Amino acid sequence: MDRDKARARVAELREQIRDADYRYYALNDPNLTDTQYDELYRELVALETEHPELLDPASPTQRVPDVIAEGFEPFTHPSPMVSLDNVTTEEELRGWVERGDRFLQSDDPRRYSVEPKIDGAGLELIYEGGVLVTASTRGNGLVGADITNNARTIRAIPQRLRGDKVPEWIAVRGEAYMRKDDFAAFNKAAEEAGQQTFANPRNFTSGSLQMLDPKVPASRPIRYFAYAIGGVRGVSYGSQEDLLDALRDMGLPTVPETRIVDGADAVAEHYAYLVENREAIPYEIDGVVVKVDDFALQERMGMRTRSPRWAVAWKFAAQRAITTLKRVDWSVGRTGVVTPKAVLEPVFVAGVTVSNATLHNIDELERLGLREGDRVEIERAGDVIPKVLRPLEDRRTGDETEIEVPTHCPVCATELDRDEGKVAIRCPNFACPKQLEGHLAHFASRLALDIRGLGEKQIRQLLENKLVTDAADLFTLAKDDLAALERWGEKSAQNLLDQLEAAKTVPLDRLLYGLGIREVGERGAKILARAFGTLEDVAAATEERLVELDEVGETMARAVMDWFSEDRNRDMLRRMAEAGMAPSRIEVASGGVFHGMTVVLTGKLERMSRKEGKALVEAQGGRAGSSVSKRTDLVVAGPGAGSKRKKAEELEVEIIDEAEFLRRAGRD
């Protein structure tokens, strides 16, 4: 590339990287994937190396971005939190190994720690005398944000280190992350409550840790893995293997899929294993970190400008493809939110044929600037729904057409609302068939009224035959009408009626949840039910009284007020009451078979989800714990239960199986 071209390209790359840094670090809303970012960064490094005259101290390659979320104190790390060089192919990895050989003037196979590269948020924990004193984000590597209060809410992070080998002082480094299943469940609940959903577990984790109110991270399933130290006093470690063992012994979780291996072949083997098993691993990983195991060798190899010579990140190849955006479809959810979905020319990516991709919301759609007919780059990461990364603007032919954001509901044609300042567009028509279907499905779902035998198919039949117009109508269904439906009959009709009869005394929180009030998820419903006791009192609550409640913000208070002030909702509740709906008070301080107990669920549950299990514990007055300790009263162990079960045995905590659990909870 000639000088002028290089100069122009360098300027462009710097601008793109600065913009990406800002969005990533300050706005917490990345516009590039890590791989895209790395590509730009590498191209810039390459150009700057080739044209040293273009080097500039202000280039993003010369410094790491430094932005600290507003409202937090800066914290200077005891030693820099460096970043790692990347390789993307086995050949490059072997190149890194050979550079190590040359540096150490020895080609004896070295021992390596091969660790999944956790796609979370880096977090440093400082313990003095075994007590957690500071937790900080990585920031620019030298100075991060002090988020101690938020980190204290993460149960995987011990407040006090355990055992008899606790150093006087230690700076533990690791990653805060969220499990994929927890993330999916959280997003699903948020969606059901009509709240904002998140793009991926990493953004969600780092966003949660940078909230000024620690109640936010406290209510989110954030976890932690430790994998390095930034200094220690009073104890020393000989190798990464020793260190990881010591961290584990002190009560810090370490990455279970880490392997200590000898030589490059074995590194490649464990890498291949992790690629192969990426989907089954419960948290997101975006590569593998390879570290020279021996600390004496690490010391000898030392640092380059930005990164150590003794470690490298071997990133997974992007799972991307180019295809055509055929059109954008709009679907209506239970709460009336209308969301865009990309319909694609089918394309094979990372082992599956992809023909749909998520566009998240209209903001995302507008940000991407997509047009129908565009060639687009899509990415499929792990088991998440594929997403559209960008249109290939230089491939446009002129035949592409603007995407029209609907102004009217695609199902019932009612004019849509676009909430000011919110990313959602919403169909306000409560009687919209799609909404009704979602409303009834939610009402009947397991965490709500748990009406078995009322699945999607049956609901559609009821709607098509105009037997119901809302949830209240369910309670006045006539047996003959039901029995006359296709594929029904006396028996299934009677079954449904029995189920509905039983549902009339459902605990109040589950009814409240089932009503599908915006912003009121499972937890919100519980808070309301506990605070007010009866449906009438919830309905009569004032906004002032609502916001006084712990964990109820203005948005939720408003949503509750709005819902109860709608005539059709009041009418629905009146008809439910007339039909005999009499929700039971939820057990508060007393009662419940697990009253006052901490119950830990581990292993596979076969008859319910983890979330339902926890709900059951709470419904019976207990607290669902996530790790086993002396304070644990009961462990429910399913097949595959491992370390928690062992721990419970050691501590002689009572262990029961799922069937016994259900029996005690009165669900069998």
Residues lying near ligand IVH in the complex (CB under 6 A) are found at 82-84, 115, 117-118, 122, 175, 227-228, 255, 289, 308, 311, 313
Strand order in 131-137's β-sheet?
Answer: 131-137, 121-128, 169-178, 222-233
Q: How far is the CB of 295 from ligand IVH (least distance, A)?
A: 12
Distance separating alpha carbons of residues 429 and 338, to the nearest angstrom? 12
SS3 298: helix
Q: How far is the CB of 95 from ligand IVH (least distance, A)?
A: 18
The dihedral of CA 48, 52, 56, 57: what is its sign? positive
Name which of 203 and 469 has its Cβ closer to ligand IVH: 203
Angle, in degrees to the nearest 10, between helices 610-619 and 180-192:
70
Sequence letter at residue 308: P
Q: How far is the CB of 173 from ligand IVH (least distance, A)?
A: 7
SS3 226: strand
Name which of 121 and 541 has its Cβ closer to ligand IVH: 121
Residues with a catalytic annotation lie at 117
Name which of 241 and 377 has its Cβ closer to ligand IVH: 241
Distance separating alpha carbons of residues 198 and 437, to the nearest angstrom? 25
Q: How far is the CB of 196 from ligand IVH (least distance, A)?
A: 26
Name which of 289 and 432 has its Cβ closer to ligand IVH: 289
Q: How far is the CB of 344 from ligand IVH (least distance, A)?
A: 31
Q: How far is the CB of 430 from ligand IVH (least distance, A)?
A: 46
Give the Å distances, CA to CA, from 419 to 42, 265, 331, 364, 435. Answer: 41, 56, 17, 16, 18
- 80 is written with which tokens? 């820099």
Distance separating alpha carbons of residues 107 and 101, to the nearest angstrom? 5
Distance separating alpha carbons of residues 6 and 44, to the nearest angstrom? 10
Name which of 14 and 117 has its Cβ closer to ligand IVH: 117
28 touches 205 (CB < 8 A):
no
Name which of 120 and 625 has its Cβ closer to ligand IVH: 120
Q: How far is the CB of 37 from ligand IVH (least distance, A)?
A: 12
Selection from 279, 275, 364, 352 nearest residue 328 by Cα: 364
Q: CB nearest ligand IVH: which residue?
A: 122
* Spacing of C-alpha 394 from chain mean position: 34
Name which of 308 and 603 has its Cβ closer to ligand IVH: 308
Alpha helix segments (H runs only) across 114-162: 148-151
Name which of 179 and 504 has its Cβ closer to ligand IVH: 179
Q: How far is the CB of 283 from ligand IVH (least distance, A)?
A: 10
Q: How far is the CB of 34 from ligand IVH (least distance, A)?
A: 10
Distance separating alpha carbons of residues 535 and 537, to the nearest angstrom? 5
Q: Which residues pair with 118 in a beta bridge?
A: 285
Q: How far is the CB of 28 from ligand IVH (least distance, A)?
A: 15
Name which of 201 and 583 has its Cβ closer to ligand IVH: 201
304 touches 318 (CB < 8 A):
no
Name which of 141 and 603 has its Cβ closer to ligand IVH: 141
Distance separating alpha carbons of residues 128 and 238, to the nearest angstrom? 21
Give the Å distances, CA to CA, from 15 to 10, 12, 18, 30, 622. Answer: 9, 5, 5, 15, 54
Alpha helix segments (H runs only) across 193-329: 201-209, 215-218, 240-249, 263-276, 295-301
Q: How far is the CB of 60 from ligand IVH (least distance, A)?
A: 15
Distance separating alpha carbons of residues 653 and 635, to the nearest angstrom? 7
Pairing of strands 169-178, 222-233: antiparallel
Give the Å distances, CA to CA, from 280 to 318, 375, 613. Answer: 18, 31, 22
Helical (H) or strand (E) element with 322: strand 320-332
Name which of 118 and 586 has its Cβ closer to ligand IVH: 118
Distance separating alpha carbons of residues 433 and 333, to the nearest angstrom? 11
SS3 163: coil
